Structure 1
Amino acid sequence: MSSLEQRNNPKIGNRLKTALLQHRAFSKEGFSERLFGLLFSGLVYPQIWEDPDVDIAAMKLGPGHRVVTIGSGGCNALAYLTCKPEQIDVVDLNPHHIALNKLKLAAFQHLPDHAAILQLFGNGDKGAVGLYDRYIAEHLDEKTRAYWESRDKLARRRISVFGRNIYRTGLLGNFIGAGHAVARLHGVRISDLTEAGSLREQRRFFDEKIAPLFDRPLIRWTTSRKSSLFGLGIPPKQYEELAKSSEDGTLAPVLRARLEKLACQFPLKDNYFAWQAFARRYPEAGDGALPTYLQEEAFEAIRENAPRVKVHHASFTELLSHREAASADRFVLLDAQDWMNDHQLNALWSEITRTARQNARVIFRTAGEPSVIEGRLGAETASEWRYLKDQSEELGMLDRSAIYGGFHIYEKV
C-alpha cells in the first residue's frame, strides 16, 4: 500500500472531517464544525453547482491542457472533456463523490448511446438499474461496485436511486426539498415558477411569491442559525463571512439576492440550475437545456476522452505534492478555499505555484464577493500570480447557478 493509499484508508481517520476542524471540540465553533462535518460526510452534491460553461471560458480550456479539479458531483470534469484536454485529475475527500464520479465515467465509456446516458442520469427512470447491471457493473473497480451495490436503510441497492431521481437526494437535494416544504407552509408552490414563459413573468413570480417569504419570521429566524444552511454546503466559516455583508446579521437578504439572480437573470429554457432549484428536476425534452455533459452533441467527445480522467480520493494539496514541477495547466478549486485557514491556503498555493506550467490559470468561487486569497498569501507566492479582475467579474455575471458571490481567475505571471 502506497503512502497516499494509507492516508486514504478510512481506518486512519475521517480525513474529510479533519479538513474542516479548526476549533476545540467543546467550543461553540467546534461543535458547529463537527456537526457540519457529520452532515458533509454523506452524499452532498448529486449535481455540481458551478457552471462548467463559465469554467471552460475562464480557463480557455483546450487540447494539451492538464487539469486538476475538485470532483463534487462530477458534471464539471465531464463537461471539460468536450474541449479534449490531455488529462484531468479529479480530487475529492468525500467517498460518495468519488463513487459518483467513477460511475459517471464508466457510464460514458460503456453505455450504448446518449439515450442510455439520459435514462441513467436524467430525472429518474426505472430502467436505470438494468442499464447499470447490463453495461456498467463489471467495469467498475471493486470498491466502487461495492458502494453502488450496497444497501440503504430501506434495504434498497444504492444504484436504485437513479430510478427515483437522485437529484432529490443528498444533502443539497434534501435542503432544496425542505425549502419547498417551508414555502408551501406559507402558501407558495415554488415549482410554479417553471410555468413562466418569459423573463418578465419570471420576475413577476419572484417579486410577488418568493421575495416576500424572506420577510417571514420563521425564515428570518432559520437563516440566522449556521446549522440551518449546512444543507447548502455552507460551513460555519463561510456563514460568518456572508453574515458580515448582511444588514441584519442573518443570511435572509443574501439568500434572497442569490435566489433573485437564479430566478430572474436567465431564461428558464437556458438554465438547468433553476429547474433543479424550483422544480427539483431537469426540464423535459423541448422545455429547456440540460447540463453540458448530458447534451447529445457532447456525448461522443466525452466517451472518446473519458479515459483521460483519473479520480483520486485525496485533497488538492496532497495530490499536487506528489506531482512534478510544472506539470499542470488549469486548477479548479470550486469554493474549497472558503473553508481554509491561512496555513492551509498557503500550503495549497505553494503546491499550485510549484506544479503550474507557464500561463497556468486557477479558477475558484467564493461565498462572498471578494477573492479570499488577497492579502493572505505569502509575498513570494503572491508575486507569481496576476488577478484577472475584469474577466472574473464579467464571467461571474454569466454563472447560471447564481449561488456564489464571486468568481475569480488568476493567471501565472
Structure 2
Amino acid sequence: MTDTAQDAGFRRNRKLKDALLQHRALSIDGLSERLFGLLFSGMVYPQIWEDPEVDMKAMDLQPNHRIVTIGSGGCNVLAYLSKKPARIDVVDLNPHHVALNRLKLASFRHLPSHSDVVRLFGCENVRSNSQSYDLFVAANLDPVTRQYWSGRNRRGQRRINVLNRNIYKTGLLGRFIGLGHIIARVHGVDLRQFAQVRSVREQRQFFEDRIAPLFEKPLIRWLTSRKSSMFGLGIPPQQFDELASLADGKSIAPVLRERLEKLACHFPLRENYFAWQAFARRYPSSNEGFMPTYLQAENYAAIRECADRVTVHHASFTELLAGRPAASADRYVLLDAQDWMTDAQINALWTEVTRTAAPGARVIFRTAAEKSVIEGRLSPAIRDQWSYLEARSQELNTLDRSAIYGGFHIYEKAA
C-alpha cells in the first residue's frame, strides 16, 4: 500500500464514521457530527487524558486479569502492564491511534534502555529520536505500522520526525491547547508561568488571579457557546449538550472553569503531569515532578517484560467482543465512548460485554456529565446482571488528576 493510498484510507475511515454519525447529513446535527468526524479522523490524543492510577485502583488490577480497553494515546495501556495482567486487547477506531499504540509497545520491547524510551516519549526537542526509531524499532513493527511512521505527511516530512520535536503539541487536542494559550496571551495571561508555582497555595492564587477571570471575557464566552469550537478538545456534539445542561444550557464556560480549577488547584503540580501538559505543554523534568506512570523507572522492567501480552486492533469494542468466547475477559475500559452512543449502540455493546464477562468482571468508564449514561437506557435484562459501585466511583472520581470529566463509574458483574 502506498502512503497516498494509506492516507486516503484513513480519511475514508468507515468504522469511525459509522460510530459518529447519527443524523441526516443535511440537518444541523448531521453537519455538526460530520465536521467533528472530519477533525477526529486524524491524530487526536498523543497522550490519553484519563488517569491510569485511578483506573488501576478501580479495576483492582491483578496478574490473572484479561483486559479489553480503548487505546487512545496508549499511555494507560502501558501503565496497566506495570501490574503484569495476563492479556490486554486494545481497540481503537482511529488508525492513527492504532499506529501510536503499536509504536509505543515496540519501543518498550526493542529500545536498549529506559532512558531511550523516556527520550522518545517524555522529552521535547531530542533530534536523535528518529534515528533511534530507525536503528531499533522500525524493523520490529508490522508492515502497516512501519509504513505509517516511516511514511511522509502532507508537508513531505517523515511522520516519525514529530518525536524529534514535541508530539504533544500536535494532534487535535495538542493544537487546541495551543490555541487556548494564544487566546490567554491575547488577554494578557501567559499560562506557561503556572509551571513556576511552588505550592498548592500558589497554584490556587494563580488560578484565581489569572485564569478564572478569562472565563468572563466575551470572546471566551462566545467560543464556549459554540459546539464546533469545542471539537478540538475532543468534545463531540452529544457531549457538548450534556455539559451545557450542567450550566446555563448555552455556554459551557462555567463547566470548563470548574474542571480547570480542579486540574490547577486540587493536586500538587509536582504530582500532576496532566497539568504540566495543559500549562507548560510538556512533561516535567526529574527535578520538577513526576513523569506519567508508564515512563517511570520503577515500572520499566514490568512493561518491557509484558509488552508482548498486548494486541492492538483497528476495531470497535462491540466488533471485537462479538468474536470472543463467553467469560473470556475480566476488565473492560470504555473511556468516555458511551457519551457518543445511541441507546441501540449502548445495548449492543453491553450485550457483548455481559456475554464475554467472567464472574466478578468490572467495567469502568467516564462521562462528561456526572451521571452514568447507561442508567435508564440499558435493557433491564442486562442491567440487572451488574452492580453499580457508586460510592467507590465517586471516591475515585475526586482523585482523577486529569480533571476533565464529570463522572467516573464502576460496574461489577455478579459472581
The TM-score normalised by the length of structure 1 is 0.97
Contact (CA 8 Å) 2:13, 2:41: kept in 1 or not? no
Partner residue, 1:211: 212
Residues 242-253 of structure 1 mapped to structure 2, 5 A cutoff:
242-247=243-248, 249-253=250-254
Shift of 1:108: 0.3
Query: Structure 2: which amino acid aligns with 1:276?
Result: Q
Query: Structure 2: which amino acid aligns with 1:89?
Result: D
Shift of 1:247: 2.4
- Separation (CA, whole Å) in 2 of partners of 1:42 and 1:302: 28
Query: Structure 1: which amino acid aligns with 2:382?
Result: T
Query: Structure 2: which amino acid aligns with 1:307?
Result: D
> Alpha-carbon deviations, 1:57-93, whole Å to 9, x = none?
0000011100000000000110000101000000000
Residues 5-404 of structure 1 mapped to structure 2, 5 A cutoff:
14-124=14-124, 125-247=126-248, 249-404=250-405
- Separation (CA, whole Å) in 1 of partners of 2:20 and 2:10: 16
**Structure 1 residues 158 and 24, CA gap change in structure 2 (3 angstroms):** same
Runs of 4+ in 1 over 3 A off after TM superposition: 9-13
Shift of 1:154: 2.1
Deviates more, 1:243-252 or 1:57-66: 243-252
Contact (CA 8 Å) 1:123, 1:281: kept in 2 or not? yes
**Structure 1 residues 169 and 324, CA gap change in structure 2 (3 angstroms):** same
Shift of 1:285: 1.5
> Alpha-carbon deviations, 1:326-378, whole Å to 9, x = none?
00000000000000000000000000000000100000000000000001110
- Separation (CA, whole Å) in 1 of partners of 2:383 and 2:74: 30
Query: Structure 2: which amino acid aligns with 1:187?
Result: G
- What's the % identity of the aligned pairs? 65
- Separation (CA, whole Å) in 2 of partners of 1:279 and 1:248: 32
Gaps of 5+ in 2: 1-8
Deviates more, 1:117-126 or 1:141-150: 117-126
> Alpha-carbon deviations, 1:173-200, whole Å to 9, x = none?
0000000000000000011111111000
Contact (CA 8 Å) 1:338, 1:366: kept in 2 or not? yes
Contact (CA 8 Å) 1:119, 1:127: kept in 2 or not? no
Partner residue, 2:6: none
Query: Structure 2: which amino acid aligns with 1:31?
Result: L
- Separation (CA, whole Å) in 2 of partners of 1:366 and 1:12: 28
CA-atom RMSD in angstroms: 1.0
Query: Structure 1: which amino acid aligns with 2:404?
Result: I
**Structure 1 residues 300 and 389, CA gap change in structure 2 (3 angstroms):** same
**Structure 1 residues 273 and 39, CA gap change in structure 2 (3 angstroms):** same
Contact (CA 8 Å) 2:330, 2:361: kept in 1 or not? yes
Shift of 1:10: 6.5
- Separation (CA, whole Å) in 2 of partners of 1:12 and 1:297: 41
- Separation (CA, whole Å) in 1 of partners of 2:336 and 2:17: 17
Partner residue, 1:6: none
- Separation (CA, whole Å) in 2 of partners of 1:47 and 1:11: 21
**Structure 1 residues 208 and 320, CA gap change in structure 2 (3 angstroms):** same
- Separation (CA, whole Å) in 2 of partners of 1:313 and 1:98: 6
Aligned length: 405
**Structure 1 residues 10 and 227, CA gap change in structure 2 (3 angstroms):** closer
Query: Structure 1: which amino acid aligns with 2:295?
Result: L
- Separation (CA, whole Å) in 2 of partners of 1:315 and 1:153: 28
Shift of 1:307: 0.4
Deviates more, 1:75-84 or 1:247-256: 247-256
The TM-score normalised by the length of structure 2 is 0.96
- Separation (CA, whole Å) in 1 of partners of 2:233 and 2:389: 28
- Separation (CA, whole Å) in 1 of partners of 2:233 and 2:362: 27
Gaps of 5+ in 1: 1-8
Shift of 1:245: 0.9
> Alpha-carbon deviations, 1:256-291, whole Å to 9, x = none?
000000000000000000000000000012100110
Partner residue, 2:408: 407
Partner residue, 1:4: none
What is the DSSP-based 3-state SS (H/G/I as helix, E as strand, rest coil) of the residue aligned with 1:247? coil
- Separation (CA, whole Å) in 2 of partners of 1:312 and 1:13: 14
- Separation (CA, whole Å) in 2 of partners of 1:247 and 1:30: 24
